[in-house]
Amino acid sequence: MSTPVIAARDSTDRDQRIPFGPLRDSFELTRRDLIAYLRTPQLLIFSTVQPVIFVLLFRYTFGGAVKLPGFHYGYVDYLMPGIFVQTVTFGSINTAIGMATDLKSGLTERFRALPMSRWAVLVGRTSADLLRNIFVVILMLVVGYIVGWRLHSDLLSLVGAMLLVLLFGYVLSWLFATVGLAVRDPESAQAASFPVIAPLVFASGAFVPVGGMPDWLRAFANHQPVSLTASAVRALLVGGPATSDVWNAVGWDLGILVVFAPLAVWLYRRST
Amino acid sequence: MTEHAIVVEGLRKRFGKVAALDGVDLEVPRGEVFGLLGPNGAGKTTTVRILATILRPDEGRAAVLGYDVVRDAAAVRRRIGLAGQSAAVDENLTGGENLRMTGVLGQRPIAEVKQRASDLLERFDLTAAGDRPLRTYSGGMRRRLDVAAALMARPPVLFLDEPTTGLDISSREELWDMIRELVAEGTTVLLTTQYLEEADRLASRIAVVDGGKVIANDTPQRLKAQLGSTVIQMDVRGDGRAEQAAQALSDLRDGRVEREGQTLRITSDRGALVLIEVLGDLSSKGLEPDTLTVREPSIDDVFLTLTGRHAEEVTPDRGADSRPRRWRR
């Protein structure tokens, strides 16, 4: 504790900009969030074990009971696209919890007093969630393969389907970042996210066909983004006609992003 | 270049119905520790948050090193460090990773950031803990790391918001030493505190804030001279006896007597001598105190003298809602 390192420097070079500053800020925060995922076992478990259990449970319980009119493959081929979408949907709760945790701990205040990009915290967080989703989706492909899921189209369609899943997860990150910034408390963030997510995931065609639902519910299930994304992914993986489902899903994604990215940034700026 | 590091004029900020700041004026000279002393809810944290560009004032202006905190917020952020109750560190990162993140986000080149992080870990006695996640840190270590993080970009102006609240005595002394070194090297420090002793030991000037206003602004010596260095407090119970006691002590030479109910409070610069005199005067009138305490002046005494009421009667503002009240009579 002897080296005189603390002296304030004269402020001549303080206004020099670091090249690609906002990008560098975002990278740094992505890195930070990834380190946090790796060091928080309960987060990793929540985002990996839980979807594996869903696969095993649905595959072997619903598998024998569900009738799939007009679908010419086994239940596992119907189920897995739904599992991919469900996995990134549930995973996006982490975005809400993460944003709320930073607000509560006071870290957000520190960020706001630093000369960094206002977008970087959100871009960093959603990018880290995207990377985590890539990992989880690959894991689900492996698990799916083990329980009998097979690709019935081509590699290009598989890549397209996975990109669609990841895009959906990414735009949901912005939606749930907004939720986290609005409720400002990790427990409330979790509590507030579930009622949004549960109907989207379960009142959908993700796990079972919507044909058995009452009319009013079927109308919702047919048009909401989890169903449409699952349906587009399913069509791509079995090589059926996919174009209209894909565009519907992408339309939802862009709509969510256009509404919630500015809203999240606006909430972040005024969060004190 | 302005002659003052921080200038605050007519600052007002409301949270709903509560006026957290009700017209604050301050001038903080360069290269000194300036103490902002007051109870929870007085407006200390709100002032710091406005100066650190986290909050916008409703009225008035504030400038740091000549840069307006609203119009030139980005320039202000490149020149300040913030630590204390309103700043924080990431629990999942190690000490070193926290410093790195703050340095990079402070827009410093990576080579400088790495060097400085290892220098600061050493300087703050955290080298051994530098590779451990924050979860394993004690309160004192965490606070030291928080201050180290605030220093990553070598800010010429440092805000320390109640930096020693909740620290044990030895950690507090260590942090005080570091603050003195910083100032010796040219940093301007704005320190908020609830402890008169802390402001007294560190600051060359103290502004006492209460209810969103500055109610005194002076050197510690002159503030204390108003009070006296010793407080003798006694209870004299029984019908009218406290009043008789106050009467008996009315021509005390080196002390000032105040009565509140059956409690007498005598402030003086010559404690021991006055104590003998007080007890002599009382016994000559056949009076004796039921309880007697001799102590150094507390923040509550400063308040009682400056405002005529106790510090804990102050209405808390939003800045105080999450923290326990710390002063009791």
State whether A11 and B106 contact (CB < 8 Å).
no
Both tokens assigned to A185: 């408390």
State whether B88 and A116 contact (CB < 8 Å).
no
The three-class DSSP label of residue B93 is coil
Pairing of strands B4-15, B59-64: antiparallel
Q: Could you tell me the CA-to-CA distances from B268 to A54, B227, B265, B284, B324 in Å, in that order?
A: 76, 7, 10, 21, 31
Alpha carbon B153 to chain centroid, angstroms:
24
Q: Which residues of B touch A114 (CB under 8 A)?
A: 77, 102, 105-106
| Structural domains of chain A, count | 1
Distance from CA of A94 to the nearest CA of B (A): 15
- Domain residues of chain B, as ranges? 4-222, 229-296
- A134 domain-assigned: yes
Predicted TM-score (pTM) of this structure: 0.82
* CA angle in degrees (0–180, nearest 5) for B175-B180-B181: 95
Q: Which residues of A touch B133 (CB under 8 A)?
A: 39
Both tokens assigned to A2: 């002897």
Q: Cβ of B230 under 8 Å from any chain A Cβ?
A: no
* Per-window interface: A 21-60 vs B, CB < 8 A: 21, 24-25, 28-29, 32, 35-36, 39-40
DSSP A30: H
Taking the domain B4-222, which CATH number applies? Answer: 3.40.50.300
- A184 domain-assigned: yes
- A9 domain-assigned: no
A258 is in which domain, residue-wise?
22-270
- pLDDT for the residue numbered B322: 35
Stated as kind and residue range, the H or E segment containing B291 is strand B291-295
Both tokens assigned to B219: 């050197």
State whether A272 and B55 contact (CB < 8 Å).
yes
Q: What mean pLDDT value characterizes chain A?
A: 88
List pLDDT tens digits, range A185-236: 999 998 999 898 999 999 998 898 888 899 999 999 999 999 999 999 999 9
Phi, psi of B70 (to 5 degrees): -100, -55
**Exposure pattern of B299-317 as b/e (b: 16+ CB <10 Å)?**
bbbbbbbbbeebbeebebb
Scan for tokens 């840190």, then name that residue: B137
The pLDDT tens digits along chain B (329 residues) read 457 999 999 999 999 888 899 999 999 999 999 999 988 888 999 999 999 999 999 999 999 999 999 999 999 999 999 997 765 889 889 999 999 999 999 999 999 999 999 999 998 889 999 999 998 998 888 888 999 999 999 999 999 999 888 778 888 888 899 899 999 989 999 999 988 888 888 999 999 998 899 998 998 888 877 777 788 899 998 888 888 898 888 888 878 888 888 899 888 888 788 888 889 888 888 888 999 998 887 777 777 777 777 665 444 443 333 333 333 33
- A6 domain-assigned: no
- A109 domain-assigned: yes
Q: Which residues of A touch B92 (CB under 8 A)?
A: 35-36, 39-40
- pLDDT for the residue numbered A20: 84
Q: Does domain B229-296 have CATH number 3.30.70.270?
A: yes
State whether B181 and A6 contact (CB < 8 Å).
yes
Q: Cβ of B95 under 8 Å from any chain A Cβ?
A: no
- pLDDT for the residue numbered B61: 94
- A144 domain-assigned: yes
